[in-house]
């Protein structure tokens, strides 16, 4: 079965369809790897359920869909009915969603087999997968280094041969950057191309579900399966979904490629710049035309992103209060007597209004204490940091100065891309400014960690599709090339990536 790890989904599908390999055999091989692995790429695995599904598929022998019998890993912020969805956080450690995300329903209908839920930075907030309540994930190319984040578990599982493909989510680079670090393909679709229903929210105007695969062809197959408008997600767009796989062509002749000058300047590691430019010249030899373009508001992208994303974080994570679901602290009861929500009515009935008011205030204070202690114990440091940043930016007196201004700058960043795409068909940049960094190297310096996303956040702010593909290595560490496309033009970036990959 080892040879299948180097083959595309379509080739694996053919072997399953022609009965050269059994689906159960493939799933057993995957779990053999997962159970022996030290990457910590999974939080939860579905071994018995996956094997039962494989046996059912083998028995029926219906392999009409390319994804039938194909193992896939799911980032643990995407809901699967009846299985834990933790978001890498203690506050959701025991949460079992009562429904599937739309993408899960689509993959299930296509016959894919879910292997388990992958590790991530808590609530998808991070660039290294070191912020998880379930421990860090390790880079499959070198375990001394981070796999990137926040979809580090998904990227490591694909790069480490523990699944054929995976789903992740990308808010500011959380699919593309770990794909770059783990030497695989990572695609973030246009905002609205894929339903977010069932994706636990981090920053609602930025979050997008995408795919991590070992080759471009697989990314096309997966995207075609999960894309499409969904009535349950008001942000999903009613735009026709192309046959990405069928239309995949390694042709770039006459394609106009823009190289943004701001993405190749100060702060880009020389070995990264060299490998990316080598890849660009390969595309030029295939017939593409190169030209320099400018995205003048790029310098404001990181600060704009971290104002908007943290503000939306502050609002979205307010729901985790220990009342409706998830973790609840018991410390608040110590020394104050047991008290439960709604239990005090008989205590105050018939008392004078002043006493009734005092009782009510006591209950209110105890409830507030429960909220605070639960959130303090349930959230990790990075999530707390972002909640505080976002809450500050939304406060009266600061809203106009920070959040509102950031929204205006976001519009300018989107306008930069619009202007650039009047001259070129796609943009090519490095995915990350640096090589993968060592575990613990940036955990004490949040700003340096945030700057890891400096080349990916702009496309997210503008809602554009972008793909990261491997374009070389240095000292055994992978380097990624980012291709950014026009809104809902995933086909062009897939074709460009496919042409480079084949070349």
Number of structural domains found in the chain: 2
Asked if residue 316 and residue 232 are part of one domain, the reply reads no
Which pLDDT band holds residue 322 (cuts at 50, 70, 90)? confident
**pLDDT computed for residue 351 by the predictor:** 41
- Reply yes or no on whether the pLDDT at 41 is more than 90: yes
456 vs 449: CA distance, rounded Å:
13
**pLDDT computed for residue 332 by the predictor:** 61
Burial of 108 (0-12, 13-18, 19+ CB in 10 A): middle
Asked if residue 221 and residue 328 are part of one domain, the reply reads no
Domain extent at residue 386: 302-400
How does pLDDT run across 161-218, given as a tens digit for each residue? 999 999 999 999 999 999 999 999 999 999 999 999 999 999 999 999 999 999 999 9
User: Given 383, 400, 417, which residue is the final one in a domain?
Assistant: 400
Q: Is residue 106 part of a domain?
A: yes
96 vs 219: CA distance, rounded Å:
29
Asked if residue 327 and residue 217 are part of one domain, the reply reads no
At 29 the three-state DSSP class reads: helix
Asked if residue 315 and residue 178 are part of one domain, the reply reads no
Nearest-Å Rg of the Cα atoms of the chain is 24
Asked if residue 352 and residue 237 are part of one domain, the reply reads no
User: Given 400, 427, 447, which residue is the final one in a domain?
Assistant: 400
Compute the average pLDDT of residues 64-69.
96
**pLDDT computed for residue 5 by the predictor:** 82
Asked if residue 57 and residue 186 are part of one domain, the reply reads yes
Q: Is residue 405 part of a domain?
A: no
495: enclosing H helix or E strand: helix 490-502
Which residues are marked as active site? 75, 150, 174
Q: Is residue 265 part of a domain?
A: no
Q: Say if residues 148 and 137 touch (Cβ distance below 8 Å).
A: no
What percent of the chain shows pLDDT beyond 70? 93
Instruction: Give the domain CATH number at 113.
Output: 3.90.1300.10
Asked if residue 146 and residue 60 are part of one domain, the reply reads yes
User: Given 375, 400, 425, which residue is the final one in a domain?
Assistant: 400
Q: Is residue 83 part of a domain?
A: yes
365 vs 176: CA distance, rounded Å:
45
- Reply yes or no on whether the pLDDT at 300 is more than 50: yes
Q: Is residue 267 part of a domain?
A: no
Q: Is residue 367 part of a domain?
A: yes
433 vs 451: CA distance, rounded Å:
9
- In this prediction the pTM is 0.93
Compute the average pLDDT of residues 381-388.
96
At 214 the three-state DSSP class reads: coil
Q: Is residue 260 part of a domain?
A: no
């Amino acid at each position: 079965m080892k040879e299948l790890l180097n083959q595309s989904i379509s080739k694996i599908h053919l072997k399953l369809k022609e009965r050269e390999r059994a689906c159960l055999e493939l799933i057993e091989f995957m779990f053999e790897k997962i159970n022996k692995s030290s990457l910590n790429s999974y939080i939860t695995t579905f071994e018995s359920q996956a094997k039962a599904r494989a046996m059912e598929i083998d028995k029926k022998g219906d392999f009409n869909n390319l994804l039938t019998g194909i193992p896939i890993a799911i980032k643990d912020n995407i809901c699967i009915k009846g299985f834990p969805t933790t978001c890498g956080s203690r506050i959701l450690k025991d949460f079992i969603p009562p429904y599937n995300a739309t993408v899960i329903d689509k993959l299930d209908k296509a016959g894919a087999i879910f292997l388990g839920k992958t590790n991530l930075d808590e609530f998808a907030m991070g660039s290294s997968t070191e912020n998880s309540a379930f421990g860090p994930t390790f880079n499959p190319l070198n375990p001394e280094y981070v796999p990137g984040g926040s979809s580090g578990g998904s990227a490591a599982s694909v790069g480490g041969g523990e699944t054929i493909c995976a789903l992740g989510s990308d808010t500011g680079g959380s699919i593309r950057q770990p794909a770059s670090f783990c030497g695989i393909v990572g695609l973030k679709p246009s905002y609205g191309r894929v339903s977010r229903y069932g994706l636990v929210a981090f920053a609602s105007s930025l979050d997008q579900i995408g795919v991590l695969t070992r080759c471009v062809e697989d990314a096309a197959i997966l995207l075609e399966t999960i894309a499409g408008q969904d009535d349950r997600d008001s942000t999903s767009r009613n735009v026709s979904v192309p046959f990405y796989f069928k239309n995949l062509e390694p042709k770039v002749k006459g394609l106009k490629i823009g190289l943004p000058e701001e993405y190749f300047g100060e702060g880009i590691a020389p070995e990264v710049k060299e490998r990316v430019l080598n890849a660009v010249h390969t595309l030029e030899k295939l017939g593409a035309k190169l030209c320099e373009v400018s995205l003048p508001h790029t310098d404001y992208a990181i600060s704009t992103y971290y104002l908007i994303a943290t503000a939306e974080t502050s609002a979205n994570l307010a729901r985790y209060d220990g009342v409706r679901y998830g973790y609840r602290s018991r410390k608040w009861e110590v020394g104050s007597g047991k008290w439960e929500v709604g239990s005090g009515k008989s205590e105050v009935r018939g008392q004078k209004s002043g006493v009734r008011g005092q009782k009510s205030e006591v209950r209110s204070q105890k409830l507030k204490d429960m909220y605070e202690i639960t959130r303090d114990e349930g959230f990790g440091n990075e999530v707390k940091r972002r909640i505080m940043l976002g809450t500050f930016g939304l406060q009266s007196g600061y809203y106009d100065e920070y959040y509102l201004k950031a929204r205006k700058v976001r519009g300018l960043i989107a306008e930069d891309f619009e202007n650039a795409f009047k001259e070129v068909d796609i943009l090519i940049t490095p995915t990350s400014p640096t090589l993968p960094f060592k575990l613990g190297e940036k955990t004490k310096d949040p700003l340096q960690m945030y700057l890891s996303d400096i080349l990916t956040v702009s496309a997210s702010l503008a809602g554009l599709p972008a793909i990261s593909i491997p374009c070389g290595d240095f000292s055994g560490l992978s380097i990624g090339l980012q291709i950014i496309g026009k809104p809902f033009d995933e086909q062009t970036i897939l074709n460009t990536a496919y042409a480079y990959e084949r070349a």
